[in-house]
Structure 1
Amino acid sequence: MRWPWQRRKAALPPVPQISEQAEQRWMLPRTLIVLLSIIAAIGVLILLNQVAIFVAPIFLGVNLVIAVMPLQQWLLRIGAPKAVAALASVLTVYAFLIALFWSIYWSVQSLVSELPGYSTEFNSMYRDMMGWLESLGISQDEALEQLQSAFSPGAIASAVAALASDAGSVLAFLATLFVVIFFLAWDSMGLPERIKRIATTNPGIVRGVDRFAAGVQRYWVVATVFGLIVSALDLVALSALGVPLALVWAVFAFVTNYIPNVGFVLGVIPPTLMALLANGPINALLTAILFSVINFVMQSLIQPKVAGDAVGVTPATSFLSLLVWAYALGPVGALLALPATLAVKTLLVDPDPRLAWVSKLIASRIDDPGSGRLGTAIGQGVQGRGARST
């Protein structure tokens, strides 16, 4: 006996089968696919570079909200209202950002306030430099002419205009970032229920987002812990060498530690300058060497390995990510290099079986592509779905 839908199915004309040879004729050569993929990736990076002023604060806001999500979930577990938990997350992120930017301002202001007290040392350095230039065959008049051209009114006006433009961009960035953080944290109140509903139909997407969230949280924890360690070591070293404002430069080193691999290059300049003015060239050289050794070993050798393992990528991938995302998203891209690479890996690469070789190539552990759970709303969504399915 045939059911009505079976009779209708039998009455349908047969579906023409495409032979394997015909299907292969429509496949593009692998070399062409690789080239097109590279061109598409470059095109996306160029596009991101053009809209970085919008994308960078949004992605940074997403990172910071995800980083404090365990705090929000802990408050919910102890019975706090959702609004209170969301408000606590917002205030925590705002406090972190205010402390970060205040540290930068404090460091620069301390340097500016301290420099006038070394006018005698500046004059001595100037005379020594002029004597050195004359030994090279460059007269004082030629050197002054070059300095005057570099510090002419037109050059100064151009520099001021550039700084004003940068200041406007920074203010726009901060305004966008603070607004994005507020709305993201407020929307996170309904995130667990949304994740549960998405997990019923798209569990793969939820697992990818969960891995991304867990990796982001581990990355920010590792960066903060290493920043504190580097800052403490720098404080001891600079104090031992008698460098003025050692605490200021230790705090500045903590801030620059969030820039992977090359942050210490920015952090070494102010203490070296102060050591040169206060204690002479030998002390400045020792300061630069000791500061660079501490920060290079911790930031460029140990931290990328630990952060890469926490995020799930190799140290080489971590360094290349810095170059790629600094171009695509500007200076903030250097800060978000690893989270951005993690987003691409967990949301685009890992779900596609055809790209499994890419995951194995860049993953810090071949047998573990980066799965893991933290106590986030995202993880709870996946676990809720698994509980219903059992």
Structure 2
Amino acid sequence: MRDQPAPRALIILVGIAAAMVVLYGIREVASIAGPVVLALVLVIAVSPVRGWLAARRAPIWLQVAVPFLIVVLVLLGMVGILTISATQLASLLPTYAPQFDRLLTDAQHWATTHGLSNEMINRGLRSFDPGKIVELAQSLLGSLIGILSAMFLIVVLLLAMCLDAPVTAKILTSGVGRRPRLVTALGIFTHKTRRYLIVSTVFGLIYAVLDVIALSLLDVPLPLLWGVLALIANYIPNIGFLIGLLPPAMLALLDGGVQKMLLVIAAYTITNVVTQSFILPKFLGDAVGLSTTMTFISLIVWTFVLGPLGAVLAIPLSLLARALFIDSDPSAGWAQALVSGKLPGG
């Protein structure tokens, strides 16, 4: 008797259930999985440096040490800037309590003149407590301390992956005859991830520098902190611009009123439109290979699984998942078209 194939609906349901189990499992070990993925992505980003040194027959120790030191210095510099700036922010916010109270009073007066009931206004005012801003700053400091504690694990993983990178590359090359689709898919993943990171970083730095200059000219406190935040938020798809904009805009509102806030919003919007909307797509091209819908879903899923770090790594993680489960499967051409938003051959 001939075996009957399993119903397609059953296969889909089992696949969804398996994916949920895997995602929840990763979520339970997010404190380990997040640094592992971050280290992998950073090693991929600096792999051209190792390739350049290998082409010039540099010693193996130099091929390992140079990319490793580049990544570590960048990480330490960013964490140092964030730590110092966040400490200054925590001491600065309480001084804005009078301005915060005045803004709430003005907002209450405006709402009353436009027909809102006092009960609704009082309910909204109870949710705006200046003390909560201080608590938010303190929680930010706590998160930075957590990042510092995870830095040791990230650095160790970076060193291990840098040491293994030459051997790993040879092993992948040797697998072309056995698993050509998988090796090709992983090669495409590393190429797209590296191109995405390098181009996004270059334009993120330009965007951050322009924001720092604008904030300095507008005399908004802690411009360097908001510049680093804009750089980090640049890696978060779809909503990164708003994440980088809201804190300095709110601080500008407390420091100089509505006019300064609107100037900050205008400056951020202009620099974002110029760098991210007009120039970046010409250089990035089709490096990501994910549709707008899939990019947004990736952001939601990986943020749920890995927290804030998942939001930053949403694109590389989705590219890795695509390489393992779609690009390596010769019968998944329709899935490639679905996630990329392009017809096959288009």
Fold conserved (TM > 0.5)? yes
The CA deviation string for residues 220-246 of structure 1, in whole angstroms up to 9 with x for no partner, is: 012102202322443454456554444
Letter in 1 for 2:52: W
Structure 1 residue 191 and structure 2 residue 191: aligned? Answer: no
Residue 8 (structure 1) aligns with: none
**Structure 1 pair 168–99 and aligned structure 2 pair: CA distance change class (3 A):** closer
- 248-257 or 62-71, which deviates more: 248-257
- Matches of 1:317 and 1:148 in 2, distance apart? 35
Query: What's the TM-score, normalizing by structure 2?
Result: 0.81
Evaluate the alpha carbon distance shift between residue 115 and residue 138 of structure 1 in structure 2; reply closer, same or farther with a 3 A threshold. same
Please report how far the alpha carbon of residue 108 of structure 1 lies from its aligned counterpart in structure 2 after TM superposition: 2.4
Partner residue of 1:354?
331
Query: Aligned pair 1:203/2:203, yes or no?
Result: no
Figure out how many residues of one structure are paired with residues of the other and give that number.
341
- In structure 2, which of residues 52, 59, 83 is the aligned counterpart of residue 81 of structure 1? 59
TM-score when normalising by structure 1: 0.73
| Unaligned ranges ≥5, structure 2 | none
Q: Which residue of 1 aligns with 2:6?
A: 28
| Aligned partner letter, 1:83 | W
d(CA) in 1 for partners of 2:141 and 2:267?
36
> 1:212 aligns to what?
189
Structure 2: which amino acid aligns with 1:271? P
Letter of the 2:39 counterpart: G
Please say if 1:328 is aligned against 2:335.
no
Determine the structure 2 residue equivalent to 1:222.
199
CA distance in 2, matches of 1:76, 1:51: 36
| Superposed displacement of residue 129, structure 1 | 5.5
- Give 1:41 deviation, angstroms: 2.0
In the aligned structure 1, how far is the partner of 2:142 from the partner of 2:209?
Answer: 36
The residue number in structure 1 matching 2:320 is: 343
Give the match's secondary structure for 2:243: helix
**Structure 1 vs Structure 2 CA RMSD:** 3.8
Give the alignment of 1:39-50 within 5 angstroms: 39-50=17-28
Q: CA deviation at 1:289?
A: 4.6
Counterpart residue number, 2:261: 284
In 2, Cα distance between equivalents of 1:323 and 1:62: 21
- Cα distance between partner residues in 2 of 1:226 and 1:102: 22
Change (3 A) 1:356 1:367: closer
Residue 241 of structure 2 corresponds to 264
Do residues 103 (structure 1) and 81 (structure 2) align?
yes
Could you tell me whether the CA contact under 8 Å between 2:204 and 2:230 is conserved in 1?
yes
Note the alpha carbon deviations across 1:89-142, whole angstroms, 9 max, x for none: 111111121122233234424434554665664564465467568876659xx7
Matches within 5 A, 1:1-390: 22-23=2-3, 26-112=4-90, 114-115=92-93, 121-122=99-100, 124-125=102-103, 128=106, 138=118, 146=126, 169-235=146-212, 237-238=214-215, 241-292=218-269, 294-295=271-272, 309-363=286-340, 366=343
Change in 2 beyond 3 A, CA 1:364/1:214: farther
Higher-Rg member (1/2): 1
Question: Which secondary structure state, in structure 2, belongs to the residue aligned with residue 311 of structure 1?
Answer: coil
Residue of structure 2 equivalent to 1:12 = none
* Deviation at residue 253 of structure 1 after TM alignment: 1.4
Whole-angstrom CA distance in 2 between matches of 1:96 and 1:50: 29
CA distance in 2, matches of 1:58, 1:214: 19
Write the deviation string for residues 272-316 of structure 1: whole angstroms up to 9, x where unpaired: 133223322122134235424643775589858965711222233
Structure 1 residues 244 and 57: alpha-carbon distance in aligned structure 2, compared to 1, 3 A threshold:
closer
Q: Is the 8 A contact 1:90 1:182 kept in 2?
A: yes
SS of equivalent residue, structure 2 residue 57: coil
The alpha-carbon distance between structure 1 residues 192 and 352, as it changes in their structure 2 partners (threshold 3 A), is: closer
Separation (CA, whole Å) in 2 of partners of 1:253 and 1:39: 37
